[in-house]
Structure 1
Amino acid sequence: MNIQVSDIGHIIQLAIAPVFLLTGVATKLSVLINRLARIIDRTRVLEDRLLVANNDRYTQELSEMYKRSHLINYAITCSTACGLLICLVIAMLFIGDTLNLKLDRYIALFFVVAMLALISSFVLFLLEIRIAARHMRLRHLNSLPNQH
């Protein structure tokens, strides 16, 4: 089997779109990991405060931090799975074209599953943001002086 340079160029052209998608997923992972780090930092502060004073407000906020961390962890898992599937799509594009294998259905299937994982990651991220925003609104409302 003899592979032409033009064939390799064609394969690279096919792989460019998934590579850009992979870059976006990597950026999204960076955002998710930074949010998780902030949640972990706040959780440690709350846990330390609970050791000093058993306060229901700290307990409630800590519970919200645990919910948020679970959502972010699931979003990270989905984004990572998406990235892995995109890498497999790129590999299958090269393997299929180089070895003249019919991998079209597998490529399509893996791409659809990657998109479902990406969608799931965005939904989980949105849910985490909603919890954070609700908590911020409640803290703001609780900090306002009572108006009679």
Structure 2
Amino acid sequence: MPLPLSSGLDPLNSAAHLIQVALTPVFMLSGIGTLINVFNTRLSRVTDHLEEVRNKINAPKTDDTPVNVFDTPEQLNHQQVRLHRRIFVLDLAIILNGIGGASTCGAAMVLFVGSIRDASTSGWLLVFFGIALTCTVAALMFFLADTLLSWHGLRHDRDLSLNI
């Protein structure tokens, strides 16, 4: 049974073209999955750091406690706010990447359904692929925001240590 693709191409070329076109979303989905893994790893590290800051805030202070300029209540609260911002932007990056991944799957599905039914699916394909690309770019922008927040915190801590 010949594939109901383009009638001007032989079935082998039509099938090869379909496979080539269908692999593009698969590679994009692989990249999106890798990004989600990176974002989750970073989110885990930020969350661990936030827990450490909270433990320092809640730790009872004694006269034997060494004085550390980074562990003042003001500095710890500042770190806590910064870490909450980083968690927020990483959450957004992960959500947007998830939407991008789902849209990529939608684009792949449209390719297959369109090839089987010989339907005009280019509009849906452009919508799903456009959503996938937009969400992936937005997720990378939020990841950049987290990186900038992290660098800002490091610079702030460095400036604080130079003032000692």
TM-score, structure 2 normalization? 0.83
In 2, the alpha carbon distance for the partners of 1:85 and 1:133 equals 32
1:136 and 2:159 aligned: no
Q: Which runs of 5+ in 1 are unaligned?
A: none
Match of 1:76 among 81, 94, 99: 94
Asked if 1:34 corresponds to 2:52, the answer is: no
Structure 1 equivalent of residue 28 of structure 2: 21
Number of corresponding residues: 145
| Residue 145 (structure 1) shift | 4.8
User: Do 1:3 and 1:98's aligned partners in 2 also have CA atoms closer than 8 Å?
Assistant: no
Cα distance in 2 for residues equivalent to 1:145 and 1:134: 17
Mapped partners of 2:51, 2:95: distance in 1: 23
Match of 1:66 in 2: 84
Q: Counterpart of 2:35 in structure 1: which amino acid?
A: K
Q: Confirm whether residue 98 of structure 1 aligns to residue 105 of structure 2.
A: no
TM-score, normalising length from structure 1? 0.91
The alpha-carbon deviation at position 92 of structure 1 amounts to: 0.9
Stretch of structure 1 that moved more, 90-99 or 51-60 = 51-60
RMSD: 1.6
Higher helix share: 1
List structure 1 runs of 4+ shifted beyond 6 angstroms: none
Q: Would you say 1:55 and 2:101 are equivalent positions?
A: no
| Cα distance per residue 1:76-115 (max 9 Å; x no partner) | 0001110110011011101110121211100011111111
Give 1:132 deviation, angstroms. Answer: 0.3
The equivalent of 1:46 in structure 2 is 53
Paired position in structure 1 for 2:64: none
Greater Rg over alpha carbons, structure: 2
Q: Is the 8 A contact 1:22 1:86 kept in 2?
A: yes
Aligned-residue sequence identity (percent) comes to 21
